[in-house]
Each structure stands twice: as C-alpha cells, then as structure tokens.
C-alpha cells in the first residue's frame, strides 16, 4: 500500500492536489473573490426551435439557474440580493458577476454590451463570467468579448458536457464537439479565457469515455474546467428515462475514481473550478449521495492522497 507523502503540487495553499479556483483567485487578487450568479432570461436556441425543442434531456426548467437571481429583477437588484446572501457566509471581498442561467451570448450585440457593462459597474467588481453554448458564439459577439477581456478578468464558460457526439445526440444537445471547437477557437482568437463544463455519468458513457473527454480537453488552451456529476432532476426527460430503468447513476465511489483519474490527465496549470456540482435539494431525484457535496470533495482529496497523486501526473502533453 502506498503511503501518503507531502503534497508535491505547486498550485496549492490548502493541501489540495489540484489547481483550485480559490487558489487562483486569491493568488491573483490577494483576497476572497465570490461569483454572484445572475439570470437575465435570454433563453436557449435548443428550446426555442432555433436548434431544437425541449432542451437537453438533463436540463431543468431553470436552465441551470437554480441558485441565480430572480430574472424578474434587473441586474443590479439581482446582484445585491445574491451578494447579501453570500455575505452571510463570507466576509466581504471582491465579486465576479456570473451570467449563469441559459445561453448568455444569445442576444444582439447591443443588448449584450449593455448587460455586461452594467454588471461590470457594480462595486468591488473583479471581473465577469459568462455561461453560454459554443454555438452561440459568433464573430461579432466574440469581438465584443475580446474587447471586454482587454479591460477586465473575463471568463466565458462553454457547456460541452462530453466530446462524444453519440452521447450528445442521445441527450438532445443539438450540439457537437466540432461546434464546441469552433466557438472555442473564436474566443481564443479574440484573447478570451475559456472555461469548459463536462458531466460525468451521462447515460451509457463508460469510464473510458469519460476519461477520453478529459484527455481531449487537456490538449486545448483552456483557462479552466468545471467537472459535474449528472443529476437527475424532477420534470426532465432524463427523470422519465431514469424512472423507466434505462440507465443507472454513478455511485459515489465510481464518481470519485473517475474525477481523480481525470484530474491526473489534466495539465497542472489548468484551473479546476469545480469537482462536483450542486443539485437543488427539492428538485433532485438521484443520486441522493450528491447532496453531501463536501463529503464528495473530501473523498476526492483522500483518494488523491491515497494514490500519492496530483493534477497532471499523467498529462501526455
């Protein structure tokens, strides 16, 4: 059995064996930085018929904005409301307005500019994060994002979920890996940081397929990555598939092993913003063990320690 040695990982100040977002932000800004999730209700081309109808089979009616502000409120009101909740847990610091729900480049450039500039004008703003689909990145809005990236710390988060087109088709993504690469390349051409989202546990994906997603992404010039667990949420097509017994969700042990294997494949400089996600307690059907988020994170830390391993140890370059 391996013995746990001193942590050899250089991007850490809390004994983590991977490059956390908290480490990056504290190193860059010198204090606590909090993301403030917003919902401006721009919708999604995979729901309105532009690309598809019904959305991705795993996506909730909130378009991943369960923890964001109220879309009935303006940006400043949402920001202040969410910030007040966060300040109950953390003392005040700097803030990154985060356009989270839906596809936040899916509007005319004039409206996007107004949205982004309003968010950047809030007090103690450290930058901006914008979540969207890669097929909602155009030459025009990529140029706008490049302009903003020259003035502030900007990250555009692209929901890929998997590099395997057969899985994307089965999940009604209406979006291919080639679509992702096209949007990614437009953003990088304009000097924009790109964060990619992936989901582990998608129906019928094997362990090797999930590792291949990490392996292919490790070859790109990414700023950061978010690793999520598949959540089966109420009132989704995925929930109907689950009730019919068409797939099983991952066990905690399977998920922890998969994430650790992926972390080993990623370059050590790549920021890992998340190693698991949040499912709204009143919406989650399975896996219920995911509600114990900090237990999952601790198990990932323990497994990397047990292996005497760390991010990038198996990175192929």
pLDDT tens-digit series, residues 257-281: 999 999 999 999 999 999 998 778 8
Q: Chain centroid to CA 151: how far?
A: 23
Q: Quick one: pLDDT at residue 4?
A: 47
Arithmetic mean of pLDDT, 15-22: 94
Say whether pLDDT at 244 is over 50: yes
Q: Quick one: pLDDT at residue 66?
A: 60
Which band of pLDDT confidence, cut at 50, 70 and 90, is reported for residue 63? low
Arithmetic mean of pLDDT, 119-130: 97
CB 14 within 8 A of CB 101: no
Say whether pLDDT at 65 is over 80: no
Say whether pLDDT at 5 is over 80: no
Task: Sheet with 33-38: list strands edge to edge.
Answer: 33-38, 94-99, 127-132, 153-161, 193-200, 224-229, 271-274
pLDDT digits (tens, 9 = 90+) for 293-313: 999 999 999 999 999 999 999
Fold (CATH) for 21-307: TIM Barrel (3.20.20)
Say whether pLDDT at 1 is over 50: no
For the chain, give the secondary structure using H, E and C. CCCCCCCCCCCCCCCCCCCEHHHHHHHHHCCCEEEEEECCCCCCCCCCCCCCCCCCCCCCCCCCCCCCCCCCCCHHHHHHHHHHHHHCCCCCCEEEEEECCCCCCCCCHHHHHHHHHHHHCCCCECEEEEEECHHHCCHHHHHHHHHHHCCCEEEEEEEEECCCHHHHHHCCCCCCHHHHHHHHHHHHHCCCEEEEEEEECCCCCCHHHHHHHHHHHCCCCCCEEEEEECCEECCCHHHHHHHCCCCCCCCHHHHHHHHHHHHHHCCCCCEEEECCCCCCCCCEEECHHHHCHHHHHHHHHHHHHHHCCCCCCCCCC
Mean of the per-residue pLDDT values of the chain: 93
Please report, rounded to a whole number, the percentage of residues in the chain having pLDDT higher than 70.
Answer: 96
Sorted by where each begins, the domain ranges of the chain are 21-307
Which band of pLDDT confidence, cut at 50, 70 and 90, is reported for residue 3? very low
CB 79 within 8 A of CB 97: yes
pTM, whole model, 2 decimals?
0.94
pLDDT digits (tens, 9 = 90+) for 94-115: 999 999 989 999 999 999 999 9
Which band of pLDDT confidence, cut at 50, 70 and 90, is reported for residue 7? low
Say whether pLDDT at 61 is over 90: no
Say whether pLDDT at 43 is over 90: no
Two structure tokens written together for 129: 């994060």
User: Distance between CA 60 and CA 40 in Å, rounded?
Assistant: 16
Higher pLDDT: 9 or 199? It is: 199
pLDDT digits (tens, 9 = 90+) for 222-234: 999 999 999 999 9
User: Distance between CA 276 and CA 18 in Å, rounded?
Assistant: 14
């Amino acid at each position: 059995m391996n013995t746990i040695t001193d942590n050899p990982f250089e991007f850490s100040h809390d004994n983590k064996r991977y490059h956390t977002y908290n480490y990056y932000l504290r190193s860059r800004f010198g204090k606590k930085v909090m993301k403030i999730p917003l919902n401006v209700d721009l919708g999604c081309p995979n729901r309105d018929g532009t690309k598809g109808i019904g959305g991705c089979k795993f996506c909730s009616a909130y378009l991943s904005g369960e923890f964001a502000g109220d879309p009935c409120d303006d940006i400043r009101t949402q920001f202040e409301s969410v910030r007040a909740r966060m300040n109950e847990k953390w003392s005040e610091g700097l803030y990154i307005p985060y356009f989270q729900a839906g596809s936040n480049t899916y509007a005319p450039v004039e409206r996007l500019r107004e949205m982004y500039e309003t968010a950047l004008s809030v007090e103690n703003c450290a930058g901006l994060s914008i979540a969207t689909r890669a097929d909602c990145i155009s030459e025009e809005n990529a140029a706008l994002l490049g302009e903003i990236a020259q003035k502030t710390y900007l990250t555009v988060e692209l929901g890929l979920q998997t590099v395997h087109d057969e899985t994307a088709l089965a999940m009604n993504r209406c979006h291919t890996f080639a679509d992702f690469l096209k949007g990614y390349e437009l953003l990088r051409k304009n000097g924009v940081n790109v964060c990619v989202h992936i989901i582990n546990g998608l129906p019928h994906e094997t362990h090797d397929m999930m590792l291949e997603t990490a392996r292919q992404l490790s070859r790109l010039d990414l700023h950061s990555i978010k690793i999520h667990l598949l959540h089966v949420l109420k009132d989704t097509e995925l929930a109907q598939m689950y009730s019919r017994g068409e797939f099983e969700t991952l066990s905690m042990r399977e998920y922890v092993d998969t994430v650790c294997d992926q972390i080993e494949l990623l370059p050590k400089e790549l920021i890992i913003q998340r190693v698991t996600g949040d499912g709204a307690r009143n919406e989650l059907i399975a896996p219920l063990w995911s509600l114990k988020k900090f237990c999952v994170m601790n198990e990932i830390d323990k497994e990397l320690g047990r292996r005497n391993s760390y991010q990038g140890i198996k990175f192929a370059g």
